[in-house]
Amino acid sequence: MLEQAIRLFPALLYTKIQPFFWLYWALWALTLGVIAFVFRWARPRLRERVLKADSHFRAHAHRVRFRSHEHEDAAERRERIALTWFFRFWTNFASAPSLATFSFLVPLYVYWRQMEQGPHWMSMEAVAGLWMMPGVCYGGSMLLSFVLKRVFKRLRPPLQKGDFGHKLVTDPSFPSGHSLTSFCFWTMVPISASLTHSSSATVMALCVVAATTIALTGLSRVYLRVHFPSDVLGGFLIGAIWCGVCLTLLPGYLAR
């Protein structure tokens, strides 16, 4: 049964996505333009307050990580290694390879389970289609992150020798791509469960998992000093906008 699902799933994926492909990217381009305009308009008006808040929260994150003040010499800093590895796990868990893998495997797994369980009041194609929403939303968010970083061209936070990502992270800082894409993927997971009439307990459990994963992803980016807090907040706000756009389009097509 699993082999059959793997063989049939690519055709199902094409059948579900092809009808709205061009409309999806038209809405994506419109969303990109609106977000770029709004954030460019807001940036000079909020700049001083944002920089002050960034400085405050970065200093707090540094004290949590190193048990010291930011200006102290690197040799005097004592890093909480276990906590750093904890946040490294979450930042890697929200990376592009992880989310891309989940985007494909989750609807494939649902499709396979539907084939095994037999008839359902919703067709197995409709159920699997609705579980494609996290991946489809994630795909657009990934490209939003790539383009918006090059629109705003914000420099990354200054790194000190020994910091995670030292001399490795060179792409622009705003918005946080991990925060944006993780928000979009995981927000859609409990929504997909709700639309396919999963039990209330399942939906609530997925809400807790999604909220925890999103929050820890954002915290990890600040803790590891690869993003400003405003990059993370901006990623969440952009993610919320894109999720709203996807929710107006995707369910009607993917549930067919």
What are the pLDDT digits (tens) for 157-182? 887 665 665 556 678 999 999 999 99
Among 60, 71, 178, 197, the one annotated catalytic:
178
- Better-predicted residue by pLDDT, 55 or 160: 55
Q: Flag the least confident range among 191-195, 231-235, 252-256.
A: 252-256
Contact residues for 93 (Cβ-Cβ < 8 A; gap 6+): 213, 217
Q: How many CB atoms lie within 10 A of CB 95?
A: 16
Among residues 56, 71, 166, 227, the one annotated as catalytic is 227
Q: Could you give the CA distance from residue 108 to residue 128 in angstroms, rounded to a whole number?
A: 7
The tens digit of pLDDT for each residue in 114-173 reads: 877 765 666 788 888 999 999 999 999 999 999 999 999 998 888 766 566 555 667 899
pLDDT exceeds 50 at position 75: no
The span from the CA of 23 to the CA of 26, in Å, is 5
Question: Quick one: pLDDT at residue 119?
Answer: 56
178 catalytic per annotation? yes
60 is catalytic: no
Rounded-to-integer distance, Cα 128 and Cα 123, Å: 9
Going by C-alpha positions, the residue among 221, 217, 228, 224 that lies closest to residue 162 is: 224
- Residues 22 and 247 sit within 8 Å (Cβ to Cβ): no
